With several copies, the nearest count.
Chain A
Amino acid sequence: MDELVRAIEATLFASATPLSVEEIAEHVGEAGVEVALGKLAVDYEGRGIELVERGGRWHFQTAPDLAHLLRRTREEPRRLSRAATETLAIVAYHEPVSRAEIEAIRGVQISKGTLDVLMEAGWVRTAGRREGPGRPLLYATTPEFLTHFGLSSRRDLPGIDDLKAAGLLDPLDEGIFQALNQEQLESEEQED
């Protein structure tokens, strides 16, 4: 067996976290890591363990079809509320996105804890501020998000191409509810 492939196999196997090609190269001290990773991935095809790439970082994991043997409980590793699930999806499909934009899409304010839960899980991070009025803080997903949900990259997000084509990921047209005459609204409210 190719010595470089062996070395990469051992390094990834021993690592407690996924490793980028650069990090692997620092350990094995050689060029040609990418080609060797390809060979290694082929070696593991169809086995009980597989070599996967998630957001540019590589790790070994058990084959998904063996989940039933390994799952110790039916409990999800981290139960997410509906609000947190929606918020995570909005961040992933629209990133970088401000809190106000998340709220506009959901049509409701998000409670303080919702983003905290996602950040604590290591799936969402802050991603600078948007230049413009108020310089709102922006949120984006992390490499751990891709790892956890088994996504090679954000392009792998379920249905992202269809949503994009349907215009559903375009910047939100704010203020459609304000598009109608504000006075009119107020007078109707008093009527009610």
Chain B
Amino acid sequence: MGVEPLDFPVGSDELTLNLDGWEGPLDLLLSLARAQKVDLAQISILELVDQYTTYIAGARALKLEIAADYLVMAAWLAYLKSCLLLPKDPQADPSPEEVALRLQMRLQRLDAMRETGARLLGRDRVGRDVFVRGAPEGLRLVRKSAWQASAFDLFAAYGIVKARTQPPMHVVHARSVMTLDEAIERVSRMLGLAIEWLDIEAFLPVTDDPLFRRSALASSFVAALELARRGRLDIAQEEPFAPLKVRSA
């Protein structure tokens, strides 16, 4: 990047001063300082300020665009210089000497990073100086399934299979009904009691279930008709919707 600043014939007309070659004012200052002394701890700040301002002045004489941060640095350095030369102000905090020391530390730090960066790049680097294996077989991770199933899952599954493939079987749930056969049997049995006319409801079993009672009534009525057909009993009804009467024949 670099323009070597001190090799620079200041004032030459053919000169093209390229400030873009510097990475900012600190970079320029560091180069000036390094030209002054190898050991940055030994540099003269006052001399450095003069060198910097001379350099910037030279650039300005060439009517080059100079970025504002270079000018700000020049102004700041000029002020630092005046503080360092003027009689000491005991009130100043930090003192101009301390500020100068910090500037020197900053230059040293930047210089150190520059130098260690170069040393890093010069190490034995993988792929340039040392080489890893050209064709590693590679390590593989094989995923294996640990299958989970319990004995219950197994038996339940078998139950499902058997249930699914069993021949269909229709089970009619026991419902509260009195079959005709039951009714005929019951009414025949009770006929011995029916010497006189009896209401058909007297033949029904005692129950709290209204559905069963309806079923028993219907079956018993049909049973009475059947038994009447066989000549075992007589049926009478005095008028429509009047109670049915039954009597042993």
Contact = CB atoms under 8 A, between A and B. Distances in A.
Direct contact of A and B (CB under 8 A): yes
Interface of A: 10-11, 13-17, 27, 59-64, 67, 70-80, 82-86, 88-90, 92-93, 105-108, 117, 120-121, 123, 147-151, 157-160, 163, 166-174, 176-177, 179-181, 184-185, 188-189, 192
B114 A170 contact: no
A185 B141 contact: no
Given A78-B147, A92-B154, A174 B136 contact: no
Contacts of A86: 110, 113-114, 117, 157-158, 160-161
Majority-rule SS of B interface residues:
helix
A15 B116 CA distance: 32
Contact of B133 (A13, A76, A171): A13
- 9 smallest CB-CB distances across A and B, nearest first, come from A107-B26, A168-B159, A108-B24, A89-B117, A89-B158, A14-B131, A16-B134, A85-B117, A80-B149
Interface stretch (B3-11, B97-105, B195-203, B214-222): B97-105
B157 A88 contact: yes
Interface in B45-65: none
B136 A16 contact: yes
B140 A71 contact: yes
Contact of B76 (A60, A79, A151, A180): A180
Nearest to B23: A108
Nearest to B130: A61
Given A92-B154, A148-B125, A180-B156, A159 B162 contact: no
Given A27-B139, A163-B158, A89 B94 contact: no
A117 B144 CA distance: 11
B27 interface: yes
B138 interface: yes
B193 interface: no
28 contacts: A13-B136, A16-B136, A16-B139, A61-B131, A70-B139, A71-B128, A72-B141, A74-B142, A77-B126, A77-B145, A80-B148, A84-B147, A88-B149, A120-B147, A158-B155, A166-B108, A166-B159, A168-B156, A168-B159, A171-B164, A173-B163, A174-B163, A176-B102, A176-B103, A179-B94, A180-B156, A188-B75, A188-B78
Given A89-B157, A106-B24, A168-B108, A62 B148 contact: no
Contact of A10 (B73, B74, B131, B147): B131
B172 interface: no
